[in-house]
């Protein structure tokens, strides 16, 4: 089919385990999740010739030892009577944009970290002909480099969390105290390309999360789930947005209820389904969970990713995976007019990637109680698209860039002028010290984009997916 540009993704084999991919079925199948990938065992499964019977590998990096990690005041430990051990955190989606930065941050803070990732995000790039603007190393090279710089080991489990057998093995072998779940298809435009992407998104996200809930119940029932949701679950109601719950008086009776959700893409709807499933299992099984309704993330650098070029995070600027501010900075750097969709009054919560890692750390350090479904709105400031275009234009001028803005017909179905006032106090109460969007951050993000501008594929900048034109037939958005 036209959109299947790649049936598998390449992964640099680790010298520790000479890995190879073994197709289970050479045909291009419509597998259980309805996305027509060629089916590989465990979706993408890493196996060594010696251990063909095993479903997946745990890969621990080993390399020269040179410690440059920041000294840490207190190591996060779990005490159990007389024994004490480092807190173990499983990061699902740890090869992605937020997950990679978080895995390094927590490892640096002396948590014991395991990454679980199917590497499907890299496959999306191959399928659609997209690329991170920043060159990103393979997950194996990333982890080896981290080990060589800090002496710290990050475990790696490569596989699909929709495969419960794989997830079971990962849970049983790592025994996490907390699971941070970033591992979803996270692009609204991707979910609106065609039927198969819509089905893939909802299957991948909803079933993956359901599997995580069952794994916690069966194998780690004390484990705290920290799940990445999105502010987009709430939509843009004409009243203030609360943090998860709203107290309503109706016909003389009062109750505190989940805040109404008005998702506006198949991706956002998958997050709403996740939230409902998590809330239900907290009640039914006593699971402890924190739903982090995250705003739009910007920035590339964190203290840890800055340590070496092989630790560099991804920077997406294309019309499918790029997020607003990151995209505008890249557009300004290459002299492309900033693409404001419609009237540009769309207002959302935003945060620096350095605050994403801080918020997750705070949630883990202050876990929810058993049976509690806690919701935090995870953003630090709100901006309209026009606000962002104005800020980038001003910052660009200071760097000698001639930044223009164009209005593009809005490919989405959304209000372009609306009331927006979302609460975000709970993480601040736990100790979040926000990095607010400043001139210096914008300068550094713009400079970063300028540094890599020769690699920009300008054809990927304009939006290519329309909410109204979504069809049943598979299609590619690659030019
Ligand atoms: N980036 C943002 O601005 C933003 C905003 C709000 C919420 N979020 C949420 O944060 C989370 C992380 O976002 P991101 O930008 O880092 O996304 P990303 O696509 O860069 O990373 C997601 C990672 O999860 C992996 N993954 C996906 N499905 C998987 C599966 N079934 N099994 C194992 N691994 C799987 C991918 O390979 C990828 O490495 C997502 O849940 C997203 O919805 C992100």
Q: Which of 93, 133, 357, 363 to mutate to test the pocket of ligand 1 (most atoms within 8 A of CB)?
A: 93
Does residue 313 have its Cβ closer than 6 Å to ligand 1?
no
Does residue 184 have its Cβ closer than 6 Å to ligand 1?
yes
Q: What is the pLDDT of residues 391-449, one digit of tens each?
A: 999 999 999 999 999 999 999 999 999 999 999 999 999 999 999 999 889 999 999 99
Q: What is the pLDDT of residues 310-331, one digit of tens each?
A: 999 999 999 999 999 999 999 9
| Number of Cβ atoms within 10 Å of the Cβ of 453 | 15
Q: Residue 121: left (phi > 0), alpha (psi -120 to 50), or beta?
A: alpha
Q: Is 271 noted as a catalytic residue in this protein?
A: yes
Does residue 96 have its Cβ closer than 6 Å to ligand 1?
yes
Backbone angles phi, psi at 137, to 5 degrees: -75, 160
Could you tell me the two tokens for 424?
């975000």
Whether the Cβ atoms of residue 324 and residue 394 lie closer than 8 Å to each other: no
- Kindly report the protein residue whose alpha carbon is nearest to atom 35 of ligand 1: 183
pLDDT at 293: 98
Distance CA 84, CA 75 (A): 11
- Provide the pLDDT confidence category of residue 79 given band limits of 50, 70 and 90: confident
Q: What integer is the mean pLDDT of 274-284?
A: 98
Does residue 323 have its Cβ closer than 6 Å to ligand 1?
yes
CA of 397 to the centre of ligand 1 (A): 33
Catalytic-labelled residue, pool 267, 317, 350, 420: 267
Q: Is 230 noted as a catalytic residue in this protein?
A: yes
Q: What is the pLDDT of residues 215-255, one digit of tens each?
A: 999 999 999 999 999 999 999 999 999 999 999 999 999 99
CA of 360 to the centre of ligand 1 (A): 14
Catalytic-labelled residue, pool 271, 302, 356, 420: 271
- Kindly report the protein residue whose alpha carbon is nearest to atom 28 of ligand 1: 184
Nearest atom of ligand 1 to the alpha carbon of 160: 32
- Kindly report the protein residue whose alpha carbon is nearest to atom 20 of ligand 1: 96
Q: Is 267 noted as a catalytic residue in this protein?
A: yes
CA of 64 to the centre of ligand 1 (A): 31
């Amino acid at each position: 089919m036209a959109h299947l540009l790649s049936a598998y993704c390449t992964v640099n084999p680790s010298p520790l385990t000479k890995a190879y991919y073994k197709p289970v079925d050479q045909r291009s199948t419509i597998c259980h999740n309805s996305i027509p990938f060629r089916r590989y065992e465990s979706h993408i499964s890493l196996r060594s010739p010696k251990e063909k019977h095993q479903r997946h590998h745990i890969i621990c990096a080993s390399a020269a030892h040179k410690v440059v990690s920041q000294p840490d005041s207190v190591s996060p430990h779990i005490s159990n009577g007389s024994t004490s051990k480092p807190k173990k955190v499983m990061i699902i989606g740890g090869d992605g944009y937020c997950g990679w930065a978080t895995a390094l941050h927590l490892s640096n803070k002396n948590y014991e970290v395991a990454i679980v990732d199917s590497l499907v995000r890299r496959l999306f790039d191959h399928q659609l002909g997209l690329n991170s603007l920043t060159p990103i190393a393979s997950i194996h090279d990333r982890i080896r480099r981290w080990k060589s710089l800090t002496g710290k080991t990050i475990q790696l489990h490569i596989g699909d969390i929709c495969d419960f057998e794989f997830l079971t093995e990962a849970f049983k072998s790592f025994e996490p105290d907390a699971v941070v779940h970033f591992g979803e298809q996270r692009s609204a435009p991707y979910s609106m390309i065609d039927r198969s992407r819509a089905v893939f998104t909802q299957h991948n996200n909803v079933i993956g999360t359901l599997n995580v809930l069952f794994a916690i119940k069966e194998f780690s029932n004390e484990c705290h789930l920290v799940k990445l949701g999105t502010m987009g679950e709430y939509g843009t109601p004409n009243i203030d947005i609360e943090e998860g719950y709203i107290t309503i008086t109706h016909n003389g009776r009062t109750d505190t209820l989940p805040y109404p959700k008005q998702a506006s893409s198949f991706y956002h709807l998958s997050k709403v389904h996740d939230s409902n499933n998590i809330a239900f299992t907290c009640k039914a099984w006593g699971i402890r969970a924190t739903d982090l309704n995250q705003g739009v993330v910007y920035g590339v650098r964190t203290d840890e990713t800055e340590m070496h070029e092989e630790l560099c995070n991804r920077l997406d600027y294309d019309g499918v995976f790029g997020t607003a501010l990151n995209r505008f900075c890249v557009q300004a750097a290459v002299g492309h007019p900033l693409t404001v969709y419609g009237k540009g009054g769309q207002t959302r919560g935003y945060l620096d990637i350095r605050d994403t890692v801080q918020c997750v750390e705070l949630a883990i350090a202050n876990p929810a109680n058993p049976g509690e479904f806690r919701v935090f709105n995870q953003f630090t400031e709100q901006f309209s698209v026009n606000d962002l275009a104005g800020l980038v234009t001003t910052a660009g001028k200071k760097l000698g860039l001639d930044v223009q803005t164009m209005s593009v017909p809005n490919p989405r179905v959304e209000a372009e002028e609306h009331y927006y006032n979302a609460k975000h106090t709970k993480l601040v109460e736990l100790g979040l010290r926000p990095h607010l969007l400043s001139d210096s951050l914008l300068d550094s993000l713009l400079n970063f984009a300028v540094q890599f501008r020769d690699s920009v594929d300008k054809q990927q900048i304009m939006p290519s997916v329309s909410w109204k034109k979504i069809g049943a037939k598979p299609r590619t958005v690659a030019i």
